[in-house]
Chains A and B, each alone.
Chain A
Amino acid sequence: MRIFKKTKQKTTNKQETTTTQRRGASQWAVGWRRFKRNKAGLAGLFIVLFYIFIALTSQWLAPYPPRSYLPLYQGEAGQPPSWKHPFGTSKAGLDVFSEVLHGARGDLYVGVGATAVSVLIGLVIGAIAGYLRGGAGDFILMITQVFYTIPLLPLILLFARVFMILVAQGFGLTLILLLLGFFGWSTISFVVRGEILRIRELEFVKASQALGASRWRIIFHHIVPNTLTPVIITASLLIAGNILTEVVISFLGFGDANTSTWGITIQEGITYMRTEWWTPVFPGLATLFAVLGFNLLGDGLSDALNPRLRD
């Protein structure tokens, strides 16, 4: 004798049902309106856009080309910040300011690219794990959990080192990108699987199944749009994590010595850290704010788009 369509009873879940049912342009509009009000999220977006701008234009913005020791090696190496060299120069003759700008390019390339690889793998594996029932699904879930639990950094370092020796001369940062991508898909896969399981249980999906809607229709009309939101949120946080890991990898000397990254500049700086603090300080700050930006953006998106976490 229910009069009105109700899928969930809890007050806090009410919006969830609505967003799941009415999606498309209006949902994004609502999300954007909510996001705009979130100062932290907006700051994150601003920072991220700023970094993207730098990354795209570094070749014109930076006073010196990437990894160019020679012009400064004599005379202007190891100088503290000045008007000419706002972030100083390294002992070996690098203009730290230029390196930080070029580093944005390298690090965003790895951070975003690796995340894209992870999202692709995670979507496929998560979807399979969510769709398969029984043994096969469990097996895939187990693999995902294994990738979630194993110590990633040591494995990536080992793989990077071996690949660099055997195949990847000239592969450069792309090697790190691929490794991070191949090792980092587990969170995406969890999110996708969880979302698929959740949506399958919702009444309107069950209803459309009962009405004989085709599997593809259900996937493209219900599952894809609804998994998109949590995947975007997770991806933003994953970019932050990937940038951090890339910086560690480069700092430890497993990156690409021919491409500018923040990690490699920090590494160059530590030997003369006592006298030349600027070489490790500025690329580190650049990392900090980039990661912070993506974290804020991810949190802001999750506040705005993820109805379950809202107040």
Chain B
Amino acid sequence: MANLTIYVIRRLLFMIPVFLGVSILTFIISNAAGDPIALIRQGLRSVSPEVLEALKAYYHVNEPLHIRYLYWLWDLLHFNLGRSLSGSPVINIITPLILPTLMLQIPSIILAVAIGVPIGIYSALHQYSKKDVSITTIALFGYSMPTFWLGLMMIIVFSLYLGWFPSGGAAGITKIWWGSEFADRIAHLIMPLSVLTYVQFATFVRLMRGNMLQILREDYILAARSCGLKERTVIYKHALRNAITPIVTILGLGFGSSLAGAPGLETAFNWPGLGYKFVQATFSLDIPLIVGITVIITIMLMIANIITDLFYGLIDPRVRLG
């Protein structure tokens, strides 16, 4: 257990460079024109002088660069993200966007694992069979497609032509399903959620199948057979656990990359989440808002990583230093 604690602390500590890395990258780019205010002035949007003054104070534009970074980092760590160009505090804009984003991301990854893992195992156990070939092909398409484009295709077919689902947003004014508020939200959720689930499913199937095939070739599988264990025990106890364990580490990464891909998917569906807002903010060069969303996404990603690390530490006894 001591090892586990050290491992978890190490992983927690690793989040510091990740956070610093993101903060440095965003700081550098927002000061690319000298300082953030100078950059904002080049944007498309007219900003009220009052907001500009507030931002000048927030960014300490009169100080030297490294001091500015420290001030700004200090504020970041206190969730003081400054004001958006519209005048409202960034944090107030971001908070309501977190839930819609997570509403897509979390269920999709859970579903993708729940479906993808067993199917991947099945595929590996029936390698080269017709079903394996179909499963592999379906997965191949899934991870070769731009997520947002698949979303667009679904919109064309299922909302524009068939009219079964709303074409975008998280809720509509006219409730298309029986006038019920709840059903309406579900109706809006189904398409983006299925798109994201499918794409993630593809990754998990591919990984799980690959892992399982590799594990089935390990000596300890042969050794377990040589002891007269039942094939069922060999596969579902010895092989399965070894094949699933690395999937847990992928969970954090998968969540991270899917979250990072949110701008595409959310824009395709006009989904009022962090990604959609990010794209709009980037267009109007709303630097405080862009940086705020990037920081929040990074934090969410870090939390996901920490949770998966913890989980991994619990199920794999080999986890140690190094």
Contacts and interface: CB of A to CB of B under 8 A. Distances in A.
B268 to A, nearest CB: 8
Interface of A: 10, 12, 142-143, 145-147, 149-155, 157-159, 161-163, 165-166, 240, 244, 247-248, 251-254, 263, 266, 270, 273-274, 277, 280-281, 284, 287-289, 291-292, 295-296, 309, 311
Interface residues of B, number: 53
B39 to A, nearest CB: 7
A152 B18 CA distance: 12
Contacts of A266: 149, 152
B264 interface: yes
Contacts of A146: 17-18, 21
B29 A154 contact: no
Interface string B146-159: 10110011011000
A47 to B, nearest CB: 11
B130 to A, nearest CB: 15
Given A149-B305, A158-B26, A252 B146 contact: no
B148 A155 contact: no
Given A10-B219, A252-B279, A284 B146 contact: yes
B264 A153 contact: yes
A271 B30 CA distance: 32
B153 A153 contact: no
A154 B298 CA distance: 10
Contact of B149 (A10, A163, A287): A287
A134 B314 CA distance: 28
Contact of A157 (B148, B214, B278): B278
Given A154-B294, A251-B264, A252-B279, A273 B156 contact: yes
A159 B153 contact: no
A252 B263 contact: yes
Contacts of B283: 161, 253
Interface in B1-51: 14, 17-18, 21-22, 25-26, 29-30, 32-33, 39, 42-43
A158 B290 contact: yes
A164 B219 CA distance: 55
A155 B22 contact: yes
Interface in B231-289: 253, 256, 259-261, 263-264, 267-268, 278-279, 282-283, 285
B149 A157 contact: no
A163 to B, nearest CB: 8
Interface in B275-322: 278-279, 282-283, 285, 290, 293-294, 297-298, 301, 305
B146 A240 contact: no
Interface of B: 14, 17-18, 21-22, 25-26, 29-30, 32-33, 39, 42-43, 140-141, 143-146, 148-149, 152-153, 155-156, 160, 210, 213-214, 217, 219, 253, 256, 259-261, 263-264, 267-268, 278-279, 282-283, 285, 290, 293-294, 297-298, 301, 305
B47 to A, nearest CB: 15
Nearest to A159: B29
Contact of B297 (A151, A161, A244, A296): A151
Given A151-B301, A166-B33, A288 B144 contact: yes
A247 B152 CA distance: 13
B279 A145 contact: no
Contact of A248 (B32, B263, B301): B263
A284 B149 contact: yes
A161 B280 CA distance: 12
A183 to B, nearest CB: 9
A274 B149 contact: no
A50 to B, nearest CB: 15
Contacts of B155: 273
B149 A309 contact: no
B144 A154 contact: no
Contacts of B144: 240, 244, 288-289, 291-292, 295
B301 A149 contact: yes
B123 to A, nearest CB: 14
Contacts of A292: 140-141, 144
A142 B14 contact: yes
A311 B17 CA distance: 39
B260 A280 contact: no
B42 A157 contact: no
A274 B160 contact: yes
Contacts of B149: 247, 251, 266, 280, 284, 287-288
B145 to A, nearest CB: 5
Contacts of B294: 151, 154-155, 158
B139 to A, nearest CB: 10
A252 B302 CA distance: 26
7 contacts: A151-B260, A157-B282, A248-B263, A248-B264, A251-B149, A274-B160, A287-B146
B87 to A, nearest CB: 21
A158 B25 CA distance: 10
Given A151-B259, A288-B145, 11 more contacts: A10-B219, A151-B298, A151-B301, A154-B294, A157-B282, A166-B39, A240-B144, A248-B264, A252-B279, A280-B152, A288-B146
